[in-house]
Structure 1
Amino acid sequence: MFLQKLKEITTFIFDVDGVLTDGSVQVTDNGQSLRTFNIKDGYAMQLAVKKGYKLCIISGGDGIAMAKRFFNLGIKDVFLAAGNKVEIFNQYLIDNNISASEVLYMGDDIPDLNVMQLVGLPTCPADAVEEIKAISTFISPYNGGKTAVRDIIEKVMKVQGKWHDANPLAADSGK
């Protein structure tokens, strides 16, 4: 059942804080928030874009640096400061002619709960809250910000025979 679901995925949607980061936020004296992203997650994300998958970010967090990070990885559908994730998700499906059954969503906390109940493959990092773990089809053995995103993208792409890049560039992961 799980392997069949992996074969049906065309779209990845990720939360940011606690999924693509470890959930820590450093705040500078001028109030700017700083987050740390994992290069291996970045490599997998840009490769998925190159291979034709749709990637989308839906996050309650916000910041110019976050938007730039995703833009540099080739991710065009970025929704930051998201108040209602379900509303954004539903509109994204309509705008892109996507069925919820072909969507993998990785979240880690209560704001992700309602949207995760709508997707074909709800997933989470190992350190997600219990409510999210309870509804997840797959729980990565890796924590948020520590390659949980790479883990699930790699699994999907390997099952679909799309994992290897014939001409990988070292620069692709650090964009």
Structure 2
Amino acid sequence: MNDLEKFQPITTFIFDVDGVLTNSQLLVQEDGSLLRSMNVRDGYAIKRAIEQGYKVAIITGGKSEGVVSRLENLGVVNLYYGIKDKVAAYREFMYLYEDEITFENVLFMGDDMVDLQVMKLVGLPACPNDACPEILGISQYVSHAKGGYGAARDVIERVLKLHGKWMPSDTDDGDGLPTSV
């Protein structure tokens, strides 16, 4: 199976946050609060996918209100954060959409051991190129990008281009781009 065939059935993207939407770095402030950096191009792709009718979910162990706010502003409604059991969260998500998607339709992008079991349950397990060796070993697609540097954009753009939904159309308002990324 070539790369394009792997992406054909995908209608749903699920992402981990730290190490996928961020670069795995945490800046610890004096008060103990943590800062993360997220890629604006990943944000554009997430928003574009949602606007084009794809489902996007987040399953993360993190509890950052800033990250939640950022993802909500992009239009993500299926946010599972502070999660200890990612498999249970994945199953809950799949139950919500049982009449619309099957495991073959799901791409999950993770980067570390906590993502391993979920990645075994989806149609297309994917990872950034700086994921841990075990995740690299089970991924059917390894992005050319590192986590936090466009890995999410990479997989979303591939799917939307394959389905003819990446480029703005004449029916999009304005320049066809999502308004706030």
Q: TM-score range by the shorter chain?
A: over 0.9
Q: State yes or no: 1:100 paired with 2:103.
A: yes
SS of 1:78's equivalent in the other structure is strand
Alignment of 1:106-125 (within 5 A): 106-125=109-128
Greater shift, 23-32 or 138-147, is seen at 23-32
Amino acid at match of 2:43: G
Letter in 1 for 2:115: D
TM-score (norm 1): 0.95
Q: Does 1:152 align with 2:155?
A: yes
Report the CA distance shift for 1:131/1:71 in structure 2 as closer, same or farther (over 3 A): same
Partner SS for 2:45: helix
Q: Does 1:29 align with 2:30?
A: yes
Q: Which runs of 5+ in 2 are unaligned?
A: 170-174
Matches within 5 A, 1:39-118: 39-97=40-98, 98-118=101-121
User: Aligned runs of 1:123-138 on 2, under 5 Å?
Assistant: 123-138=126-141
Match of 1:172 among 155, 169, 180: 180
User: What secondary structure does 1:22 align onto?
Assistant: coil
Secondary structure, aligned partner of 1:8: coil
2:172 corresponds in structure 1 to none
- Match for 1:162: what amino acid? K
Is residue 163 of structure 1 aligned with residue 166 of structure 2? yes
Q: Which amino acid aligns with 1:143?
A: K
Distance 1:170 1:52 in 2: 13
What CA deviation, in whole Å up to 9, does each residue of 1:143-172 have, x standing for no partner?
A: 000001111110111111111123334743
Structure 2 length as normaliser, TM-score? 0.92
Alpha carbon RMSD of aligned pairs, Å? Answer: 1.1
Task: Classify the secondary structure of the residue corresponding to 2:8.
Answer: helix
Cα distance in 2, alignment partners of residues 160 and 8 from structure 1: 10
- The 2-side partners of 1:168 and 1:131 are apart by 39
- Tell me if structure 2 keeps the 8 A contact 1:47–1:165: no
Structure with more of its chain in helix, by fraction: 1
